[in-house]
Amino acid sequence: MDTDIKMISKRIEKEGSFIEQLTDEIGKVIVGQRNLIDKILVGLLSDGHILIEGVPGLAKTLIVKTLSDSISTKFQRIQFTPDLLPADLIGTLVYNPKDNSFKPRKGPIFTNFILADEINRAPAKVQSALLEAMQERQVTIGNTTYPLEQPFLVMATQNPIEQEGTYPLPEAQVDRFMLKLIVNYPSMEEERGILERMTSGEEITVKSVITPKDILKARKLLYKIHMDEKIKDYILNIVFATRFPEKYGIDDLKGMIAYGASPRASIYLTLTSKAYAFIKRRGYVIPEDIKSIGYDVLRHRIIPTYEAEAEDMTTDDIIRKIFDTIEVP
């Protein structure tokens, strides 16, 4: 077993060298936000989609655009608005009077990276069309189904400030996002760097350092990363503690959780912790990988009770208590 792990680690050391190249290229444009960049790369490697919550102006669009440029892929930004229609997203059939036929006109979803800006501003039908494409990796226009290109990454943003005139995503739909990331303000030192870089008048160019094939190759290697049975038990205990906290001696959380994490949480914790290990250039998963990515996998899968909200207890507080209680292998 040790020999296999060493072989996988050597392969990751060799084939995962593009991680540094990517982060270096993104770092030419983006100041700080290393944690956010790492988590986006985790989602990309795990073939999952990302929901980002943060106030405007924190470079969410710029990060995805820069990542797309670094990987030589196509990028589309879609501003979600209340008057958006599903056809504006996936495309529609257009009548051609010359030969009395209908021809498909593909929408902006036919790309590699999509930034769905303020997804909660669009009505349910548009949200449903996007989430179906995310899940099925295909789009049907008329009677024809078209597969979407790989890699296919959707990064949707939500503004936590304004809720008036929005259509909040139902919990069942939010659950389809692999990760929910919270973007915070930069430090004063980082903001000084942003100020100097963005007001210099110099154009910053990013070059493509890898191709989509490199990403797809890395995804195959991801499945070979070793995960000990004790680590799997650790993941299951964390997820089950969100459903039955009293069985794990966390009685004070029983009245704080209305619904615990779904089985997707167990699957995604496994995949993302392997991706996190890949980024750290390891051929095996350690408990710290699960703790590092666990908040982002679980925070939108735990529904707190009114009692928890009344006591200002967030899902992150609940997750922290679970991590502090469950024994680390």
Question: Can you say how many angstroms the Cα of residue 28 is from the centroid of all Cα atoms in its chain?
Answer: 22
Which of 63, 51, 121 shows the shortest CA–CA distance to 299? Answer: 51
Q: Name residue 311's amino acid.
A: E
Q: Give the DSSP letter string of 245-270.
A: GGGGT-GGGTTTEEE---HHHHHHHH
Which pLDDT score is estimated for 25? 82
Q: Using the structure block, give the residue that is written with the tokens 């072989």.
A: 7
- The position carrying tokens 């226009």 is 141
Contact 140, 177 (CB under 8 A): no
pLDDT tens track, the chain, 329 positions = 566 778 888 888 877 778 888 888 888 777 777 888 888 889 989 988 999 887 777 777 788 888 888 888 888 888 888 888 888 888 888 888 888 888 888 888 898 888 888 888 888 888 888 888 888 888 888 888 889 888 888 888 887 665 655 667 777 778 889 999 988 887 788 788 878 877 777 777 778 888 888 888 888 888 888 898 999 999 999 999 999 988 888 888 888 888 888 899 999 999 999 999 999 888 889 999 999 999 999 998 998 889 888 888 889 999 999 999 998 88
Q: Which helix (H) or strand (E) holds 38?
A: helix 34-45
Domain 225-325's class? Answer: mainly alpha
CATH of domain 21-214: 3.40.50.300
DSSP string, 47-96: T--EEEE--TTSSHHHHHHHHHHHHT--EEEEE--TT--HHHHHEEEEEE
Reading the block at residue 268, the tokens are 């995604």
Distance CA 59, CA 263 (A): 32
pTM above 0.95, yes or no: no
75, amino acid identity: F
3-state DSSP percent of the chain in helix, strand and coil, to 5: 50, 15, 35
Q: What is the structure's pLDDT at 235?
A: 94
Q: How far apart are CA 133 and CA 126, in angstroms?
A: 11
Strand order in the sheet with 50-53: 75-79, 113-117, 153-158, 50-53, 179-182
Q: What local confidence, expressed as pLDDT, does residue 215 receive?
A: 87
Is 40 within 8 Å of 154 (Cβ atoms)? no
Tokens of 97: 């009077």
In order, the DSSP letters of 157-173 are EE-SS--TT--PPPHHH
Interhelix angle 287-298/34-45, nearest 10 degrees: 90
Contact status, residue 75 vs residue 112, Cβ threshold 8 Å:
yes
**Closest to 40 (Cα-Cα) out of 70, 1, 4:** 70
Q: What's the rounded Cα separation, in Å, for the pair 169 and 128?
A: 10
Dump strand ranges (E) for the chain: 50-53, 75-79, 91-96, 101-106, 113-117, 138-141, 144-147, 153-158, 179-182, 257-259, 303-304
Domain residue limits, the chain: 21-214, 225-325
